[in-house]
Structure 1
Amino acid sequence: MSEPGAPRPTAVVTGASSGIGAATARLLAAWGYRVVCAARRADRVETLAREVDGVPVACDVTDDDAVARLASVAGERVHVLVNNAGGALGLEPVAEADVQRWQQMYDTNVLGTLRVTKALLPALVAAGGDGVVVNVGSIAGLLAYEGGGGYTVAKHGVHVMTETLRLELYDQPVRVTEIAPGMVHTDEFALTRFDGDRERAEQVYAGVPGPLVAEDVADAVVWMATRPAHVNVDLLVLKPRAQAAPHKVHRLPS
């Protein structure tokens, strides 16, 4: 936490309008950060920013101009960047893939992360050794599962981009980290994946004793970001006890 009276360090969280992003913004604010809350839905990030005494930015990470505005608002020094914007669409097999949906997932998860990281990297370096990037990946970026083709491709891209950036910045005062959550029960992830079909979305979590919640992931993200400056948490895989793999989940009988 920052010292009383000292300027607050700055954290930028994308995808902050709900779920993991909103929970992370709240916890970073509790740790004393000035949180720049970025997401496409302006009304939601404005509400969140008021709650956490942060700064709202309406930002679509697939839009170069919007990302440039985000970098301008964030300022000359950024201590924490949480690349959380992303998501999954559909659960069709590869043979029935919707190319447009695959493109959308790649644009948001991979190229969105790239745009924001590029734009904020000078400010992260300027933080003088305190800069850290936390990319929110997924166990889908480490393992494949049937029906997850487009999402696993995108999250594998995030994973490899994280590894590459770490290699390229090995002599720079910026840490590059990734968290890879498994099943997280949030209000919108599965609902978005299934085009608003709430019954189908709830089936994802049906019978699972204790799936992760957004606050679990936020707690891990903030722990990673607040390690001493010489400590780099390359990859943290976080799953509920009931989930052994993307395709192997314990469910209680209904």
Structure 2
Amino acid sequence: MTQPAESRIAVVTGASSGIGAATARTLAAQGFHVVLGARRVERLEELAEEIGGTALALDVTDEDSVDAFTAVIPRVDVLVNNAGGAKGLAPVLEADLDDWRWMWETNVLGTLRMTKALLPKLIDSGNGLIVTVTSVAALGTYDNGSGYTSAKHAQGVLHRTLRGELLGKPVRLTEICPGMVETEFSLVRFGGDAERAADVYAGLTPLIAEDIAEIVGFVASRPSHVNIDQIVVKPRDQASATRSHRTH
């Protein structure tokens, strides 16, 4: 990959749509050369051309893919662990083990693979930042969501553990825990059922991807001595994972 000399480099996973794509635009506007990673390379290439970034194929569930992706990045100043998602909404009694494996591979082990691979370069940058996008599901539970909430809890604990392990190293860590954000999230969770996905946000005003991207940009622009440990952000209409105000 090529990038302007002396440019700071930000890596964003799950960058082909939603929060990842919006974050890439925000960081590029702040002067970062953004390396975009996702499986949908065509989308990545369009976005990379738009923002002057670099598009690289990435599947965070595949060790070889992660190794190939990270090997060509010369330095890293910011890592945004955004790749993740949910599949299904089933009670434990009816749990689909394949859905659970996908959620744990994508949210937990995907974050581990990327962080482990890029951590030496983040330290070497002298002012590294790891932003992990978890969820309010990393802080609580709800019926029929144990596959996703358990994965997000594990992802959050992985990230929070690093805060202590890296104490004294020049790396900051921020966890962002969004509530309802209208992206492709629910479409993936419900296997492409657009009507069911739309119902999740019916009767209220959800967050949008740009809302989360602006928070990432704020965190990335703080002075090196400022560590914002955790940000929980929800729509005004949402009090918790299980309680919202809807007009209908």
Matched, 1:134 2:131: yes
Task: Choose from 221, 228, 238 the match for 2:233.
Answer: 238
Matched, 1:70 2:69: yes
Query: How far is 1:219 from its partner?
Result: 0.4
Aligned ranges 1:47-86 → 2 under 5 Å: 47-75=46-74, 77-86=75-84
Moved more, 64-73 or 90-99: 64-73
How many residues are matched? 245
Partner residue in 2 for 1:13? 12
Query: How far is 1:224 from its partner?
Result: 1.2
Q: Which string of whole-angstrom CA distances, capped at 9 and with x for unpartnered residues, describes residues 169-192 of structure 1?
A: 112111111000000011x11000
Structure 1 spans left out of the alignment, 5+ residues: none
Matched, 1:213 2:208: yes
Query: How far is 1:216 from its partner?
Result: 0.1
Query: How far is 1:7 from its partner?
Result: 2.2
Partner residue in 2 for 1:223? 218
Aligned ranges 1:1-254 → 2 under 5 Å: 7-75=6-74, 77-128=75-126, 130-186=127-183, 188-208=184-204, 210-253=205-248
TM-score by length of 2: 0.97
Moved more, 65-74 or 193-202: 65-74
Query: How far is 1:103 from its partner?
Result: 0.7
RMSD: 1.0
Paired letter, 2:25: R
CA distance in 1, matches of 2:22, 2:72: 21
Paired letter, 1:198: A
Query: How far is 1:115 from its partner?
Result: 0.1
Runs of 4+ in 1 over 2 A off after TM superposition: none
CA distance in 1, matches of 2:67, 2:88: 30
Paired letter, 1:105: M
Query: How far is 1:63 from its partner?
Result: 1.0
Structure 2 spans left out of the alignment, 5+ residues: none
TM-score by length of 1: 0.95
Paired letter, 1:53: G
SS state of the match for residue 249, structure 1? Answer: coil
Query: How far is 1:8 from its partner?
Result: 1.6
SS state of the match for residue 182, structure 2? Answer: coil
Query: How far is 1:74 from its partner?
Result: 2.0
